Chains A and B, each alone.
Chain A
Amino acid sequence: MATMAVQMDGGPDKIPLRLKLQRVERRRKLMSFTLVLPLLLFILIAFVWPIGRMMFNAIHDDTLLTLMPRTTSALSAWDGKDLPDESAYAALVEDLKQAWARKTTGVIAKRINYELPGAGSQVTSSARKASTLSAGPYRSTLIAINPIWGQHDVWIVLKRGHSAYTAYYLLRSFDYQFGSKGQIVASPPENAIFRDVFLRTFGISIAVTAATLLLGFPVAYLLATLPTRTSNLLMIMIVLPFWTSVLVRTAAWGVLLQEHGIVNELLITLHIISRPAELIFNRVGTVVAMTHIQLPFTLLPIYSVMKTISPSYLQAARSLGAGPFYAFWKIYFPQTLPGIAAGCLLTFILCLGYYITPALVGGAADQMVSYFVAHYTNEDLNWGMASALAAILLGATLLLYYAYNKLVGVDRLKMG
């Protein structure tokens, strides 16, 4: 490097210009990176790390491994065909005794109950009785205490507990579970809801996206073709709701759509309906309110693309003899496609994560994935399930976000 530099520059004491420029360039890069660093670190520590940890919870569950260490290790050599041998039963009794003394039976029972509904209470009652056992043979005694220990399924669940990683929560998120031989089977219909929930989430998101496009496109076109002064005035009508809190707007819809609310009263006064229609706590209310909130997100990108389309193309088409609708469809509309893609994709992505609005104006059958994440976190205390559902939702969101970045570019994200 040094000899090369000497050759290029010709003077021994001077740093060559190329190197100097490179150095300056590197320093500039470093300087710009230093400016971004505080926020980058903040996002990594307070956002990326917590989310990563939560995603880890979707596949990591060491409840049985830590609370029933003897049983799980005794079962690691078990072939899973016949019932395990006496040593596994002895280990089980030891573990149950310890669990009873440490009051961890509830946690173990709940964990087993996830995979074998109904088994949880048998485990608890067995632990209560096993706590007084002092000598074997344990196998026959345990089976006498509770026939569940003579069955295959519970042992399979315990054997799987030897690994700190489980696919159980992710499987459940798609309405699958482990069968009695450890194979993957569909969940029984009375417990299968998550496929419905994901489909519903996508369905509502598609409906809302389509509605915003249908309503937003004509308005965007109007705004793009009106003189600036008028369009600026109308723009306020779009940006004002955009700036109003989602909670306030949802509350407004709650007031409007009530059984004896303004919309119903108006429809009855106009003799469109004779009895109040059900507009709230169902799909109608959810879609109406969500469309209202998302409309500006779809409309604004379409508008900014339309602003850049020169009217001369359309005029040229017309003067060459194209009819007004043909010209619009063949010449104008294709040029708006980038805006439509940007707006619809953004709206769709944001719709997937809705929580507040369905919770306040939707019914029990309109709740989307986010609701179940919150429910499993706060009320059911099944954090593995919450994490698994969140992981799938996040995966879908990030995939679409990636597509958005490729198609539109994050620079084009605007806020009115």
Chain B
Amino acid sequence: MAAFAYASPLEKGWYYLHRLICGAVLLYLVAPILVIIPLSFNSVPFFTYPMPGLSLRWYEEFFLSAGWQGALHNSLFIAVLVTLLSTALGTLAALGLSRPNFPWRAAVMSLLISPMIVPVVITAVAVYFFYADIGLLNSYTGLILAHTLGATPFVVIALTATLMGFDHSLTRAAAGLGAPPITVFFKIILPLILPGMVSGALFAFLASFDEVVVALFVASPEQRTLPMIMFSGLREQYSPTIIAAATVLILFSIVMLTTVELLRRRSERLRGIRR
């Protein structure tokens, strides 16, 4: 809007209308998330304002009842293992893919990303039939592997994006100076890709932590995760405890988002990208 100084009234009108529309859209995006947070502190089990009083009783129920805590524990356990597994697999693959002259790069890449694109119900049902055959139904192993499937594409995407700006002459220079490949990896490559790796890992963590459809199919009540309990709860009734659980998940997301943003800035600084 550099032309604002000599703009016509019509243009000025448009300018403000545009801002108004944008404000409304941003409100639409953020309001639902922000509006439910205070409701989780409501003293009565209703979802309207004004709230008659404040209370921590729903958080008490969330943090003290065995059902919710078992689920939270399961979710964390599963998500941590999924993160480790998918970060290892995804990092290796991204390193391979980003080397110059990788054969059939586009095809391989789109295959590796496809679990993100294929409708999740199809993945869930297919894996469910498959697990029934090989005896992995209703097991932690099965659930972790299935979640790894959905989480790894995030790592691959985050890392290939980081590696796209990667200057391969650095590794060649190091090798030329006599450094063995292991040293090259730990001294040159790792520090540069670490921010991408961590943000990929965080994405992977969230992908598993928030996943519900695959879990509904392949997990038994023994492996029940937080989203599974929330989903069955939401189908029955909107209890304030579910909203408290949702608030905890939102806080989780905010912490992760902040971390990723800080890492991105650091990474851009390291790679010398200025904005």
Contacts and interface: CB of A to CB of B under 8 A. Distances in A.
Contacts of B145: 46
B115 A47 contact: yes
A401 B129 contact: no
A398 B117 CA distance: 8
B96 A36 contact: yes
Interface string B178-206: 00000000000000000000000001001
B84 interface: no
Count class of interface residues, chain B: 35 or more
- Chain A CB within 10 Å, residue with most, of B35, B122, B231: B122
B30 A261 contact: no
A152 interface: no
Interface in B128-154: 128-130, 145-146, 148-149, 152, 154
Given A39-B112, A352-B119, A29 B238 contact: no
Contacts of A282: none
A108 interface: no
A251 B35 CA distance: 12
A222 interface: yes
Interface residues of A, number: 95
A318 interface: yes
B204 to A, nearest CB: 11
- Give the dominant DSSP class at B's interface: helix
Given A244-B253, A262-B47, A411 B164 contact: yes
Contacts of B16: none
A106 interface: no
B158 A405 contact: no
Contacts of B127: 46-47, 50
Contact of A54 (B117, B126, B148): B126
B22 interface: yes
Interface in A1-40: 25, 28-29, 31-40
A75 interface: no
A109 interface: no
A241 B25 CA distance: 12
A50 B129 contact: yes
B235 A239 contact: no
Given A252-B35, A410-B113, A36 B108 contact: yes
Interface in A337-391: 349-350, 352-353, 355-356, 359-360, 369-371, 373-374, 377-378, 383, 386, 390
Interface of B: 1-3, 7-8, 11, 14, 18-19, 21-22, 25-26, 28-30, 32-33, 35-36, 39, 46-49, 89-90, 92-93, 95-97, 99, 101-103, 106, 108-130, 145-146, 148-149, 152, 154, 156-158, 160-161, 164, 203, 206, 209-210, 212-213, 217, 227, 230-231, 234-235, 238, 242-243, 246, 249-250, 253-254, 256-257, 261, 275
Closest 8 CB pairs of A and B: A353-B119, A35-B96, A245-B210, A50-B130, A36-B96, A252-B32, A370-B121, A32-B99
Given A40-B93, A54-B122, A252-B246, 19 more contacts: A36-B112, A40-B108, A40-B112, A42-B148, A43-B115, A47-B115, A215-B25, A219-B26, A222-B18, A244-B33, A245-B210, A251-B238, A251-B243, A262-B35, A318-B3, A324-B8, A353-B120, A360-B235, A405-B110
